[in-house]
């Protein structure tokens, strides 16, 4: 870095790493735009269109002139619907005042971290982790501390590992089940024990449940706030959103449910930064609660496609000599082990893109060397073509 640049940029700007997942996606898209035939497994977004009933509701809101600022924490009808939904799911009488709608689940996570982490506080992050958590923690002046989950444990950490990582500076544990990048989902006993270990030690939990509805193999949807002892449930912040469930990544709508004091702080931070999530987009999301049967049907349709792709890709990856792949139960990712090829994951991914025009994200981006992430939020045709190319690439690497 030149001296003049270092004088111009702040500590925050100099220390932040740009999102490697968005970078892979951008490179694949640029190659495609240049006419290259790229098989993209990099994207973290469903390849389906947003369901019509949601688009129609947003269009009607636009036509009705819902084009002005909304209340900072969200339009009242949407907050009320979200609160009622969480309450009905057993979260125990969630009030509208505990719900904040933000421009994307990413922003919800960031604001939750800003609202709870002071400079020097440690934030415990199980690895592999979603790329943004460590950077968000650093932007808050916090210190990310990683807890590595072994592939043999299904990419899940244990309460003993968590306890061993806690120090007097530990403030927050971030959980993400189903996980990006592994697709791993904690079982009930595992999540209950982990939740208890964190809360007993006085930590707050940020539970990022953005993939909560993308579950396979009859895996139940679980939440630390539901498994926490009632007197400690207020120490859990639950984040979710509409992007992954209803294929609404570009709408930028995230949700946060927390104790009133935390929700208020999140709303205050939002009031001084982004103000509110886009007003007419919120009316689109409201349709999910006003038409639950349509929402269920749309989700079921997408899930069926994701599930058949998951199984196809998982079986085919395991059939490639040198690759082993854990069977994920959620989200739309597989995270195969490529250690047998003896290459750093970044080199494996770069060569795969250069030689065969297949885009995957290196595990190093998620704090997990020796793996690469495949997103199966891509067409069946791309999956088949990509598998053919990957098989050829791996055979060449093995000589
Ligand atoms: N959390 C995780 C684990 C994610 O993978 C993502 C998106 O990739 C998000 C949060 C944020 O989603 P959005 O900001 O699109 O709602």
Cβ–Cβ < 8 Å for 326, 93: no
Q: What is the mean pLDDT of each run of 10 residues along the chain (399 residues)?
A: 66 82 78 93 92 98 98 98 96 94 98 98 98 96 96 93 98 98 97 98 98 97 94 96 97 98 98 97 98 98 98 98 97 98 94 95 95 96 98 95
Ligand 1 nearest atom to the CA of residue 45, by list position: 8
Closest CA to 51 of 285, 298, 224, 245: 298
Pocket test for ligand 1, best of 174, 177, 243, 278 (most atoms within 8 A of CB): 243
Is CATH 3.60.150.10 correct for 68-291?
A: no
**C-alpha 87 to ligand 1 mean position (Å):** 23
CATH code for 3-50+295-394?
3.90.1150.10
**C-alpha 207 to ligand 1 mean position (Å):** 12
Cβ–Cβ < 8 Å for 206, 172: yes
Query: For the chain, which residues make up each domain, given as ranges?
Result: 3-50+295-394, 68-291
Report pLDDT for 3: 46
Report pLDDT for 23: 73
Pocket test for ligand 1, best of 101, 102, 180 (most atoms within 8 A of CB): 180
The Cα–Cα gap between 131 and 106 comes to 11
Ligand 1 nearest atom to the CA of residue 253, by list position: 16
The tokens for 97 are: 């005042």
Report pLDDT for 1: 44
**C-alpha 210 to ligand 1 mean position (Å):** 6
Which amino acids bring their CB within 6 angstroms of ligand 1? 44, 104-106, 109, 130, 176, 180, 208, 210, 241, 243, 249, 254
Would you say the C-alpha torsion 116, 120, 121, 124 has a positive or negative sign? positive
The Cα–Cα gap between 354 and 24 comes to 12
CB atoms closer than 10 angstroms to residue 239: 27
Whole-model pTM above 0.75? Answer: yes
Pocket test for ligand 1, best of 43, 241, 274, 367 (most atoms within 8 A of CB): 241
């Amino acid at each position: 870095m030149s001296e003049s640049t270092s004088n111009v940029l702040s500590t925050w700007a100099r220390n932040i790493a740009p999102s490697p997942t968005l970078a892979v996606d951008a490179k694949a898209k640029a190659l495609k735009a240049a006419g290259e035939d790229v098989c993209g497994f990099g994207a973290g977004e469903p390849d389906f269109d947003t369901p019509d009933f949601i688009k129609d509701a947003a269009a009607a809101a636009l036509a009705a002139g819902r084009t002005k600022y909304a209340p900072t924490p969200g339009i009242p009808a949407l907050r009320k619907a979200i609160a009622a939904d969480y309450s009905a799911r057993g979260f125990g009488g969630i009030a509208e005042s505990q719900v904040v709608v933000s421009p994307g689940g990413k922003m919800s996570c960031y604001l939750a971290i800003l609202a709870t982490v002071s400079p020097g506080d440690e934030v415990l992050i199980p690895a592999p982790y979603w790329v943004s958590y460590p950077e968000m923690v650093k932007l808050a002046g916090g210190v990310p501390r990683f807890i590595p989950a072994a592939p043999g444990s299904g990419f899940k950490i244990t309460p003993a590992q968590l306890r061993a990582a806690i120090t007097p500076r530990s403030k927050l544990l971030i959980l993400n089940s189903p996980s990006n990048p592994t697709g791993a989902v904690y079982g009930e006993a595992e999540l209950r024990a982990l939740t208890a270990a964190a809360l007993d030690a006085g930590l707050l939990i940020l539970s990022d449940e953005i993939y909560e509805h993308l579950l396979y193999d009859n895996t139940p949807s679980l939440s630390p706030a539901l498994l926490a002892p009632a007197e400690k449930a207020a120490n859990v912040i639950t984040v979710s959103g509409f992007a992954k469930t209803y294929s609404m990544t570009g709408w930028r709508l995230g949700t946060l449910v927390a104790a009133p004091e935390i929700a208020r702080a999140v709303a205050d931070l939002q009031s001084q930064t982004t103000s509110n999530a886009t007003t007419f987009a919120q009316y689109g999301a409201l349709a999910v609660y006003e038409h639950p049967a349509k929402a269920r049907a749309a989700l079921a349709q997408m899930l069926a496609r994701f599930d058949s792709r998951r199984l196809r890709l998982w079986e085919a990856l395991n059939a490639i000599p040198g690759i082993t792949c854990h069977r994920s139960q959620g989200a739309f990712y597989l995270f195969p082990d490529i250690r047998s090829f003896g290459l750093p994951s970044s080199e494996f991914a770069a060569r795969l893109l250069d030689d065969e025009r297949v885009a995957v994200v290196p595990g190093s981006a998620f704090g997990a060397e020796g793996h690469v992430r495949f997103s199966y939020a891509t067409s069946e045709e791309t999956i088949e073509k990509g598998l053919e190319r990957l098989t050829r690439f791996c055979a060449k690497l093995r000589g």
